[in-house]
Structure 1
Amino acid sequence: MHPAIQGLLTIIIGVSGCVGYFYFSNILLDKVFCPARGIHAGRNINRANIIRPWLFLFPALAGLLLYLAYPVFETLRLSLTDRRLDGAFVGFDNYRQMFSEQKFWEALRNNLMWLLVVPAMSTIFGLLAAQLTDRIKWGAFAKSIIFMPMAISFVGASVIWKLVYDARPEGADQIGILNAVYIFMGGDAPQTWLTLPFWNNFFLMAVLIWIQTGFAMVILSAALRGVPEETIEAAIVDGANPFQIFFKIKMPQIVTTIVVVWTTITITVLKVFDIVFAMTNGQWETQVLANYMYDKMFRANDWGVGSAAAMIIMMLVLPILIWNVRNARREMK
């Protein structure tokens, strides 16, 4: 069957199934609790009204349990067992083995570097772009260009940037923009940027910063437009310059949005995998936790240590998710 037809049939069956479920479950509920008017009709209707929301929530709850809760508990179980011993319970041995490996600490160190650099730079560049594009006539076009990388997959962006960092033999024409500029500025020989220990991590981070800046710009631009014009006009009347207006008037009013953008990008950084996998495959000291987990699970076939690495990633993400949810609820009150 052609993939397009298969996809269309999947959509039709899925949507029809949901509509059918809601329609027939609603009819069944009415027939069970309200077959006819009688002495207990009011009580039965109340019971039906209590059950009805849960009936409609069931598909979503079932999906969450099947695709979110079950994988978490299964991963936890696997992290406490040994695949080589037919799934025998080994307690925290997988975690001890993981903590004893230098590759794990390399991955953790690199992840912490990504956490310090990428959210900060993406938010700063996004805020700068949001402020500047709102002050020029062709701001909408500029925003479209800056946001465009968000439409590219991480692997696609990695291929683009791999060409930017490309290095050809000395004397040959350089197709990599960075090496072309480096040679033009008087560099001795082209550099293999992705193999430079420590610094190559920053070259990889540039890819995610390039992608996430557009996201930060769009959210922060909307927040800046929400700052009351009366406040800005009052500041101008009082003699405030553009820098004072931005840092003392606008920034305090959008700080909550800045934090939300920062934490959202932080969660993305903790899960980063595609960029490292496509550009260096974790070589030259660029390993991150997600790549370490992948190597253990699918290359070393060690599901115990791989699952333990997955639990570490989840424990790093979880506090940020909880903080985001609590902050969102606080804002809604």
Structure 2
Amino acid sequence: MAKEAAYVPNILRQGRWVPWLYLGPALILMSIFILYPGLNTLYLSFRNQNGSDWAYTTCLAGQPCWGIFENYRYALTSSIMRTAFGNNLKWILFMVSGTVLLGLLIATLADRVRYEALAKAIIFMPMAISFVGAGVIWKFVYDYGSSQVQIGLLNALITSLGGRPVSWLTEPQINTLALIVVGIWMWTGFCMTVLSAAIKGVPAELLEAARVDGANEWTVFWQIRVPLILPTIAVVITTMIINVLKIFDIVYVMTGGNYGTEVIANRLYIEMYTSYNTGRAAAIAMVLTVIIIPAIIFNIRRFRAQEAMR
């Protein structure tokens, strides 16, 4: 009887190296397509425009110079990069808060309507559109046309009501916010879906007990539902921050980064494929990676904590 209990099939009797045979193909692919490109990008960030020499050779007499870190001086202190950092901060503040709050609101309200699946499908539908496609669609919505003829949907509506048309994509005071609206339109469905699943995971008995004790719906929402789904909200927020830091398509398609709408990823693209400055593009890529890493680490720790609780 003891021998039968201790018996292990031959297929499970794996040596120390067998697991590495299973992991080997994945590790090789990751090394080729992730590790090597990352290390090469780090190396190029210390090189000059075409990678033929070190970055300090691009320094100009009488101008500030960080030596081998000259590309990082541009990535961290140049005026165009300061604009990009400022705009990315606007995207984080307005788009992340907008998508999370709207997603939470819609997830809560949709849970009470009769046609919940249909309502959620309509809200989630923009996620099925590519960022380029969404940029093209909203470029027509914001189009200024001319002072005589308004072909943009939004300006046509404004002029039909007696207002004056607005150049939504060229006015520095409003163009970044106009682009953020497009991002909110696209990503609210994602936040709604994740938060809706978390809300449905709240025990119904706990909600009923609170209502029996006299709590109104507002109190139930803020005192019970939100605290219980707070870990999910934190994951959604950090995920959206990562997405916003990498935002590129909407800005590139709708404004090309002009009129003060520059963001980090768009500047990286311009340096690499328009200015052909490999060193600066690599430095911007490394700065963007360093900014994103804390959010990734937070998400990993949160997932591990949730797995440990199960």
Same fold (TM over 0.5): yes
Task: Decide which of 116, 122, 125 is 2:93's aligned counterpart.
Answer: 116
Q: Classify 1:85/1:256 alpha carbon distance in 2 versus 1 (closer, same or farther; 3 Å).
A: closer
Give the TM-score of the pair, scaled to structure 1: 0.83
User: Secondary structure of the equivalent of 1:137?
Assistant: coil
Select between 130-139 and 47-56 the one with higher mean Cα deviation: 47-56
**Cα displacement (A) at 1:102:** 1.0
1:148 aligned partner: 125
Quick check: 1:332 aligned with 2:298?
Answer: no
2:167 aligned partner: 192
User: Secondary structure of the equivalent of 1:92?
Assistant: helix
**Cα displacement (A) at 1:294:** 0.9
CA contact 2:55–2:70 (8 Å) conserved in 1: no
Task: Decide which of 156, 169, 181 is 1:180's aligned counterpart.
Answer: 156
Quick check: 1:278 aligned with 2:253?
Answer: yes
Alignment of 1:71-110 (within 5 A): 71-84=37-50, 86-88=52-54, 90=56, 91-110=68-87
CA contact 1:198–1:285 (8 Å) conserved in 2: no
The unaligned stretches of length 5 or more in structure 1 are 1-41
CA distance in 2, matches of 1:154, 1:303: 26
The structure richer in helix per residue is 1
1:255 aligned partner: 230
| Deviations, residues 81-132 of structure 1 (Å, cap 9, x unaligned) | 1135713364101112334421111111111111111111100000111011
Q: Classify 1:83/1:168 alpha carbon distance in 2 versus 1 (closer, same or farther; 3 Å).
A: closer
CA distance in 2, matches of 1:255, 1:77: 40
2:21 aligned partner: 55
CA distance in 2, matches of 1:98, 1:263: 24
**Cα displacement (A) at 1:169:** 2.1
Quick check: 1:305 aligned with 2:280?
Answer: yes
Q: Classify 1:94/1:255 alpha carbon distance in 2 versus 1 (closer, same or farther; 3 Å).
A: same
Q: Classify 1:45/1:200 alpha carbon distance in 2 versus 1 (closer, same or farther; 3 Å).
A: closer
RMSD of aligned alpha carbons: 1.9
Q: Classify 1:252/1:77 alpha carbon distance in 2 versus 1 (closer, same or farther; 3 Å).
A: same
**Cα displacement (A) at 1:166:** 1.3
Q: Classify 1:155/1:254 alpha carbon distance in 2 versus 1 (closer, same or farther; 3 Å).
A: same
Q: How many residues align?
A: 289
Identity fraction in percent: 45
Q: Classify 1:250/1:100 alpha carbon distance in 2 versus 1 (closer, same or farther; 3 Å).
A: closer
| Letter of the structure 1 residue corresponding to residue 129 of structure 2 | I
User: Secondary structure of the equivalent of 2:15?
Assistant: helix
The unaligned stretches of length 5 or more in structure 2 are 1-7, 57-67
CA distance in 2, matches of 1:45, 1:146: 49
Higher RCO (C-alpha 8 Å, min separation 6): 2
CA distance in 1, matches of 2:15, 2:193: 41
Select between 141-150 and 237-246 the one with higher mean Cα deviation: 237-246
| Deviations, residues 269-292 of structure 1 (Å, cap 9, x unaligned) | 011111100000000000000111
Give the TM-score of the pair, scaled to structure 2: 0.89
Task: Decide which of 241, 265, 271 is 1:290's aligned counterpart.
Answer: 265
Q: Classify 1:223/1:85 alpha carbon distance in 2 versus 1 (closer, same or farther; 3 Å).
A: closer
User: Secondary structure of the equivalent of 1:75?
Assistant: helix
User: Secondary structure of the equivalent of 1:193?
Assistant: coil
Quick check: 1:168 aligned with 2:148?
Answer: no
CA distance in 2, matches of 1:86, 1:159: 39
2:211 aligned partner: 236
CA distance in 2, matches of 1:298, 1:102: 20
